[in-house]
Structure 1
Amino acid sequence: MSILRRLFVFPFILLLLTLGCADRSEEQGKEKPHVRGIIMDFEEEKGQVLIDNTEDNGVESGPIWISLNTDAELIIEGETATAALDETLVGRSAEVWIGGYIAQSSPHQTNAVKMVIHELKAN
């Protein structure tokens, strides 16, 4: 293969790799939350909320304590929050993305990398 062909093929391969990575990162941003449900309780000492976890198909999988990672993204009513979790969030619905493991305690415990909390719904 001539040098000219090699010079053409190399940038083409780099372009394909770059496009492939861009699609993958876009898909990751659209990933469904790992935990979804109503915030039932707040533990001030540990800064955790207890969420009654419900999966997409409506099957309850039980409560889970959620803490925020130090670099976690917290969004409350569409605004990025700078404050920590507190008792005013009890009763609101939440969606949580986790970045690690879930401790098999009772109830389960995990850390969130992103948490979206929706406004209170009027009954």
Structure 2
Amino acid sequence: MSIVRRLSLLPVIIILLTLGCAEKSVEQGKEKPHVRGIITDFEEERGQVLIDNKEDGGVDSGPIWISLNKDSELIIEEEIVTVSLNETLVGRSAEVWINGVIAQSYPPQTKAVKMVIH
């Protein structure tokens, strides 16, 4: 294949790559929560809540401790708040998005990127 033909394909390849990346970022915004369930406990010293994690279909996958980073987004009743986690959240439903790192303890522990409490 000549250099001219290869160079003429370059803009097409760049456009396809750009469109592929744009779709992925839209999908990430609609990503399902990694943890979903009822907050069953609060640990004041560590600022963590214990969530009884339920997978889609109601399958119980066990409890997990969740804490917030400094730049985590906390949404309570559809309003972004700047308060920290506390004992008043026990008994409420929560959805949590994480960065993928989970400590291998029992129960496991992780930090939320985003937490929505209903």
TM-score range, shorter chain: 0.7 to 0.9
Letter in 1 for 2:95: E
Match in the other structure for 1:111:
111
Aligned to 1:46, the other structure's residue is in SS state: coil
Relative to 1, partners in 2 of residues 1:2 and 1:67: Cα closer, same or farther, differing over 3 Å? Answer: closer
- CA offsets per residue over residues 47-85 of structure 1, 9 Å max, x none? 100111111121111111101122211111111111111
Q: Distance in 1 between matches of 2:101 and 2:5?
A: 50
Counterpart-to-counterpart distance in 1, 2:69 and 2:17: 31
What's the counterpart of residue 51 of structure 1? 51
TM-score where L is the length of structure 2: 0.87
With over 3 angstroms needed to count, the CA separation of the structure-2 counterparts of 1:93 and 1:3, relative to structure 1, is: same
Gaps of 5+ in 1: 119-123
| Residue 3 to residue 40, structure 1, CA distance change in 2 (3 Å) | same
Query: Pairwise mapping of residues 1-123 of structure 1 onto structure 2 (< 5 A)?
Result: 1=2, 6=7, 9-118=9-118
AA partner of residue 117 (structure 2): I
Q: Deviations over 1:28-62 (max 9, x none)?
A: 11111111100111111111001111111211111
Question: Taking every aligned residue pair, what percent have the same amino acid on both sides?
Answer: 73
Could you tell me which runs of 5 or more consecutive residues in structure 2 were left unpaired when the two chains were aligned: none
CA distance in 2, matches of 1:11, 1:114: 37
**Aligned positions, number:** 117
